[in-house]
Structure 1
Amino acid sequence: MTTEGRRYTTLELLERLVAFDTESSKSNIALIDFVADYLDGWGAPYVRVPNAAGDKQALFATLGPTVDGGVVLSGHTDVVPVTGQAWTSDPFALRVDDGRAYGRGSVDMKGFDALALGLVPDAMATALKRPIHILLSYDEEISCLGVLDTIARFGIDLPRPGAVIVGEPTGLEVADAHKSVVTYDTVVHGHEAHSSKPMLGANAVAAAADLVSELNWIADAMIARGDASGRFDPPATTVHVGTIAGGTARNILAKSCSFHWEFRGLPDLDMAEIPRLFAEATERVTANRLNRYGDFGRVETVEEVAVPGLAPDPGSEAETLALRLAGRNRTISVSYATEAGRFQGAGLPTVVCGPGSIDQAHQPDEFITLAELERGEAFMKRLLAECAA
């Protein structure tokens, strides 16, 4: 007996998904509950994979036989905040106007999630020879760590897939490479004294300024090195300082100054190079600026998030499959980071391919066009036919 649940259109699914406020600082469990109920209605098996705190969950569903070698459609459920953004309508109520569907996460990336979930009724009614898996994750926007517990179970108590398609918005181009991103928090600890007597203390703001200048020198060196592959825009590893704060008054040597910084590395970058260069710079600045007059200060740098890049893997199962499904004959690269590097690091062939434009992501009045959703539906239908052949 075939189980039949409720059949939604892609737009209806997107409306339901957008309605859940799943900013990364909040729980996504209500959304996962909805997806689980939907899958139960169609008799599609799935497992929930909770985080350590128990306030967020990933979900891994299998459509077709429970065997190795399937295709994973991977999408995250978390979205970036809307606070401070000038939306013209409720960001968590999908608004369709002039061929566009507006809402937080509509393009990044609940549009892809809706397309993947829309496959369920037809997939469950088809005798698939190769399984299609749907993996919905959490915390992609802040760490890309929400897929790791699921990946760790592949080949143990979950089938090990043969290809992974991460559905970040690429205009349904097939991206086989992207940069890494590593973020840091640096705190300079100084020693307060009257500004007329700098020899009595250590100015944390002055030392931080030197360290930021050192990062600028590192950034310039990366720009000069360029991109040997010629595939990235901008064509270099980038180094960026995003925030800086310190000091208490104009006439007091600053006791503390902190700044947040990052680098986004090309796939061929030695991930230890920039931390090593910054550590060497920290030693120089500590000796020559911070502790010029005595052993007053110190510098602490903590790595916050490290998301691996995606390296090209020409001819991989994921690449050849996605190119066929998308009707493309070449791959592209993207400069933003995704969960794809996590999958590739586990030895899984992976590409990035999804509907919509990254240019619309993270903005007020974020949208995906209805035409892109229609193209995504065609992509999914071709996947279904391929896995049934």
Structure 2
Amino acid sequence: MQHALDDTKALLRHLIAFPTVSTDSNLAMIEFLADRLEGVGAKVEVHADPSGTKANLFATLGPEVDGGILLSGHSDVVPVADQDWTTDPFEMVERDGRLYGRGTCDMKGFIAAAVAMAPFYAEKVKDRPIHFAFTHDEETGCLGAQALAQVLRAQGVRPGVAIIGEPTLMRIIEGHKGCYEYTTHFTGLEGHGSGPDRGVNAVEYAVRYVGRLLELKEQLKARAPAQGRFDPPWTTINTGALVGGVAHNVIPGKARVDWEMRPVQAGDADFVKDDLHHYCTHTLLPAMRAVMPEADIVTEVIGEVDGLIPADENEARDIVAELTGANGADTVAFGTEAGIFQALGMSAVVCGPGSIEQAHKPDEYLALDQLEECLVMLERLGAKLGA
């Protein structure tokens, strides 16, 4: 185990040195991981995004058959700008039983552990393949995982189990809400503040739209499923920003509302979107266009990521419980890529080293004992592959 830990720490040091903030390229890190996996005999595919500056990696050890086990992690990290770090965020520092650096727990620690175990898996794998999926742009809408899902579907690649190594303190997570993010743009008519009826006040219509969101927010509480396991058990709506206007005495012609909902069931998302469409079409837009026919309300989809739905039968949960000795599984509030893999027909769980409480913060760290627990799980997985 000490050898595996040393290899993982060395790998993690390399991964932290790649500044894969979501706004920047992840190609250097993906190429580095591709070289490591190809070196142990994995079949590696790298799929670039349309810009050519980012890519997903999908690799396989073992036979090209259905039912494999997928280890998944995202390569991107959140920005460090305006955060008060005591060390260089892109240089891993080991201190007091912790590994500090941007992405140590979210989630390059898991990626490093999985790749460090690849030589062991290459020796052990028999009839059931093991796959590695490392994606781009998870932090900005799970764009990479959604693109990878399209590739796997088109190629007919059908892994049976997905283990997503987000930081859960090595608890098994079998469910989380979806995350649907939107920006709604309002186009009105500017004018002098002394004549409000001669303009179309985009901010005022945006405020009315937010009012509707607040009404829906309350209605969703009554739609909570019986014996819901989430906290809170209903679909939530959050208004993140309302932006518009230039001066006290100018009728604002532009405004925008940034908002999100976190569905516990697909029907809730349809309920909200249908209601807002009806409200805009039959209430807000007729009033706006009575003054200016070109007035408009357009909702931009930033990302719609399905949740991970707890299932009575879940091979991924059962396997990870066997590997870790856990007696149960939980749900969490934060989102992951797990629902995307579940939608492809895989059983899926989230289980990885570190705490979500450390993610996205200055002086992000991964405790060494967490990394060791992860390596124990992954080592046992290798033994299972060879059984």
TM band (smaller chain): over 0.9
When normalised by structure 1's length, the TM-score is 0.92
Distance 1:257 1:117, change over 3 A: same
Please tell me whether the aligned partners of residues 242 and 261 of structure 1 are also in contact (alpha carbons under 8 angstroms): yes
Name the CA distance, whole Å, in 1 between partners of 2:135 and 2:335: 15
- 292-301 or 362-371: bigger deviation: 292-301
Aligned to 1:85: 83
Aligned to 1:274: 272
Aligned to 2:99: 101
Please tell me whether the aligned partners of residues 174 and 319 of structure 1 are also in contact (alpha carbons under 8 angstroms): yes
Aligned to 1:68: 66
Name the CA distance, whole Å, in 2 between partners of 1:217 and 1:124: 55
Name the CA distance, whole Å, in 2 between partners of 1:52 and 1:249: 40
Aligned to 1:169: 167
CA shift for structure 1 position 113: 0.4
Q: Aligned-residue CA RMSD in angstroms?
A: 2.2
Name the CA distance, whole Å, in 2 between partners of 1:100 and 1:223: 41
- Describe how 1:48-59 pairs up with structure 2 within 5 A: 48-59=46-57
Percent identity between the aligned chains? 40
Distance 1:287 1:159, change over 3 A: closer
Name the CA distance, whole Å, in 1 between partners of 2:195 and 2:154: 65
Aligned to 1:326: 324
| Residue of structure 2 aligned with 1:309, choices 275, 288, 307 | 307
SS of the aligned residue for 1:72 comes to strand
SS of the aligned residue for 2:106 comes to coil
SS of the aligned residue for 2:105 comes to coil
Please tell me whether the aligned partners of residues 285 and 297 of structure 2 are also in contact (alpha carbons under 8 angstroms): no
Aligned to 1:259: 257
SS of the aligned residue for 1:356 comes to coil
Amino acid at match of 1:358: I
Name the CA distance, whole Å, in 1 between partners of 2:122 and 2:45: 17
Aligned to 1:245: 243
- Describe how 1:368-387 pairs up with structure 2 within 5 A: 368-387=366-385
Name the CA distance, whole Å, in 2 between partners of 1:18 and 1:58: 18
- Describe how 1:171-250 pairs up with structure 2 within 5 A: 171-226=169-224, 228-250=226-248
Distance 1:155 1:220, change over 3 A: closer
Distance 1:366 1:154, change over 3 A: same
Name the CA distance, whole Å, in 1 between partners of 2:189 and 2:153: 54
Structure 1: gaps (5+ residues): 1-5
Q: Deviations over 1:325-373 (max 9, x none)?
A: 2211222111222111111111121111111111111111111111100
Distance 1:290 1:356, change over 3 A: same
Tell me which protein shows more helix as a share of its residues: 2
Aligned to 1:118: 116
Distance 1:136 1:107, change over 3 A: same
Name the CA distance, whole Å, in 2 between partners of 1:140 and 1:294: 40
Amino acid at match of 1:179: K
- Describe how 1:5-44 pairs up with structure 2 within 5 A: 9-44=7-42
- 267-276 or 187-196: bigger deviation: 267-276
Please tell me whether the aligned partners of residues 17 and 110 of structure 1 are also in contact (alpha carbons under 8 angstroms): yes
Please tell me whether the aligned partners of residues 128 and 387 of structure 1 are also in contact (alpha carbons under 8 angstroms): yes
Q: Deviations over 1:51-86 (max 9, x none)?
A: 222221211222233322210001110111111111
- 151-160 or 246-255: bigger deviation: 151-160
CA shift for structure 1 position 296: 6.8
When normalised by structure 2's length, the TM-score is 0.92
Structure 2: gaps (5+ residues): none
Q: Deviations over 1:25-54 (max 9, x none)?
A: 111110111112222332333221222222
Distance 1:155 1:304, change over 3 A: closer
CA shift for structure 1 position 283: 3.7
Please tell me whether the aligned partners of residues 75 and 135 of structure 2 are also in contact (alpha carbons under 8 angstroms): yes
- 80-89 or 215-224: bigger deviation: 215-224
CA shift for structure 1 position 224: 4.5
CA shift for structure 1 position 253: 1.2
Name the CA distance, whole Å, in 1 between partners of 2:120 and 2:109: 19
Name the CA distance, whole Å, in 2 between partners of 1:320 and 1:113: 22
Name the CA distance, whole Å, in 1 between partners of 2:155 and 2:249: 63
Distance 1:209 1:16, change over 3 A: same
Name the CA distance, whole Å, in 1 between partners of 2:160 and 2:166: 19
Amino acid at match of 2:123: A
Deviant stretches of 4+, over 6 Å: none
Please tell me whether the aligned partners of residues 178 and 309 of structure 1 are also in contact (alpha carbons under 8 angstroms): yes
Aligned to 1:3: none
Please tell me whether the aligned partners of residues 60 and 136 of structure 1 are also in contact (alpha carbons under 8 angstroms): yes
SS of the aligned residue for 1:85 comes to coil
